[in-house]
Amino acid sequence: MEKESNLAIIEFKSTARGLYVTDAMLKAANVKLVLASSLCPGKYLTIVEGETSAVESSLKIADEIGGMHVYSSEVLNAINPKVVDAISGKLGEHSLEAVAVIESMQMASLISSADDVCDAVPIEFVDFRLARGCGVNSFYIFSGDYSSVSEGARRASQFLKGKGALLAYRVLSGPDREVFRWIKTSLCRC
C-alpha cells in the first residue's frame, strides 16, 4: 500500500491572493501541489501534500501572507492515497452495481469523510469536485458493490452529520446506464 498523505487545505476569498500565496507556499516549504484552482464564486483553493512539518509550515505561511483573504485553512493527516488521487482527477475503474453521492459545503470535512470511506470499504471514486462548477457545494461520487457503497454512504453521512457538515447523500442501486453516462460526461474540471 502507498504511503498515506498529509494535506494542507487553504481556501482563499481572492483568486489573486490565492495564486500569490500558493507560489510563496511552494517556494518556502517542501510540499507538492495536489490542487490549485479558482472556485465558484471568485475564490481560490490550494491543497498541498508532504511531511507533517512541511504541510504545517506551508499552512502557517498561507495564514500569515494570506491574512484576511484566507477563508479557511486546515491540516489533515494520514489521508488515503486514493483520496488524493481522486482530488487530483485520477479516478479508478467504476462499477454499475451501485453509486453514492456525498455532498457538503466544508471541504476539509468532506475530504476526511472520503478518507474514512476508503479505509473502511472497497470503492472507486467516479468524481471528486471541490466547489468547482457547483457554487459553494462540494461532493464526491463513488461506486462499487451495493453493500460496500451502502456502508460507505452510511459512514460518510454519519461522519459529516457529526461535524454539522452534511448537505445530502444518496445511494443509487444499479443506476441506469444513461444516468451513469451523464455522470461521467459531466466530469468537468471547471
Give per-residue pLDDT as tens, 27-49: 999 999 999 988 867 789 999 99
Tell me: the pLDDT tens digits for 125-167?
A: 998 888 765 556 889 999 999 999 999 999 999 999 999 999 9
The three cell numbers locating residue 125: 471514486
Residue 79 has φ and ψ, to the nearest 5°, of -90, 135
81: region left, alpha or beta (phi > 0 left; psi from -120 to 50 alpha): alpha
Quick one: pLDDT band at residue 2, thresholds 50, 70, 90? low
User: Domain check: are 61 and 141 in the same one?
Assistant: no
Residue 94: count of CB within 10 angstroms of its CB: 19
Q: Does the residue 190 lie in any domain?
A: no
pLDDT above 70 covers a percentage of the chain that reads: 91
User: Domain check: are 106 and 146 in the same one?
Assistant: yes
d(CA 68, CA 175): 44
Quick one: pLDDT band at residue 186, thresholds 50, 70, 90? low
User: Domain check: are 107 and 167 in the same one?
Assistant: yes
pLDDT at 30: 96
Average pLDDT of the residues in 87-101? 85
User: Domain check: are 38 and 69 in the same one?
Assistant: yes
What domain range is 124 assigned to?
82-185
Q: Does the residue 37 lie in any domain?
A: yes
The three cell numbers locating residue 147: 453493500
